[in-house]
Structure formats: structure tokens, C-alpha cells
Amino acid sequence: MVWVLGFTVVVPASAHAAGISVQRASLQAEATDGWNLDARFDFTLNNSLSDAVSKGIPLYFRTEFTLTRPRWYWFDDQAINVTQTVRLSFQPLTREYRVSTTGGSLYLSLPTLDQALSVIKHVVAWRVIDPRAISPGEHYVAAVKMELDISQMPKPFQIDAVNNSDWNLSSDWSRFDFSTADHEK
């Protein structure tokens, strides 16, 4: 019985060894009201993912941000839950990597995969909090994570991703405290 318990502790630790890590995350007050997320992630693409991109298969990276207000008497109040998806693709005719967001707020052509990944790894000025969505002076817990979104890939790759750990790339939630009183403009 003790051996089984020790085994269950070891498996989750090895499952995230080659994932995405959150290096830092913070909220910056915006001059025109609201708060922007500034986050840095760190990861490397394994050979399977690098080969897929170089053969023209786009990869989608989804960043999720939540803001909850802890309550002692009931479930936490989830004030905000937003996602942003970034598409990484390779254009063989121009030999360029393209990074774009759904909705079209970002569209870049870059000469190398490393340059394209550096754009994806650094989330800058993403407006995540509208001041009307939160109460002034309240304490909140902000959380951010990033993952490879296999649900947007072509169906044959989705099926392969279920059985292949090379396609599983995600971070754990990174949580930090947030209060509007700490971020007065």
C-alpha cells in the first residue's frame, strides 16, 4: 500500500518535466482604464512539434487568464475568464514563420522558428480586466496558464495527440494576488 502511494506521487512530477513553465506574470494598469497582463512563459518544441510546423501544420497556443474573488462562505466568485489563441505556422514559399492571434490583433512574419517562439512566449499588453467587471478595493486571485491547443489542429493530428505525449504541452496555473488598491492609477 505504501508503494502504490509513492508511485502516484512520482508520476505527476514526471508528466510535466517537458512542459511549459510560467516565468513571471503581472498586471499593469492601463492609462485608459483596465489592466493588461504581462507574462513570460518558457518552453521548447520537441522534434515532433518542430517537424509538424516545418511541414506546414499550424500549432495553436492558448493562454487563459482568470480572476476570482475568494469567499469563505461559498464557492469563489469567478469575475473574469478570458482566453487568447496564438497561431504558429510556416509558409514554405517565403520560408517565414507566421504568428497571429485569432481576431487579428497580431500578425507577424519572422525568419526563424526561435524568433516566432519568442513572440509566443511573451504575452504583452493583453487587456484582461475591464474596471466595470471588478469591485474597487476587493482582493482577487489572478491565474494564468498556457497550453498547446490540439482541438484546433486537423482531425488526424488530434487523434494522434491523444496517444502521443509529444503533443501534450501545457503549464500549470500560476496564481498571484491582485487588488485594485495596489494598482491605483
- Residue 20 domain-assigned? no
With respect to residue 23, please indicate whether it lies within any of the assigned structural domains.
Answer: no
Instruction: Tell me if 6 is assigned to some domain.
Output: no
pLDDT digits (tens, 9 = 90+) for 119-174: 999 999 899 998 888 888 888 999 999 999 988 877 777 666 666 777 788 999 99
C-alpha cell at 180: 485594485
Grid cell locating 72: 469563505
Q: Is 1 a member of any domain? A: no
pLDDT tens across 24-45, in order?
999 998 876 789 999 999 999 9
Q: Residues 6 or more apart from 160 whose CB is under 8 A from it?
A: 167
Q: In the prediction, which pLDDT does 118 show?
A: 95
The C-alpha cell 522558428 sits at 113
Please indicate, yes or no, whether the overall pTM of this predicted structure exceeds 0.85. no
Domain hosting 155: range is: 31-183
Q: In total, how many domains does the chain have?
A: 1
**Cβ-Cβ contacts under 8 Å for 77 (sequence gap 6 or more):** 68, 69, 71
Is 4 part of a structural domain of the chain? no
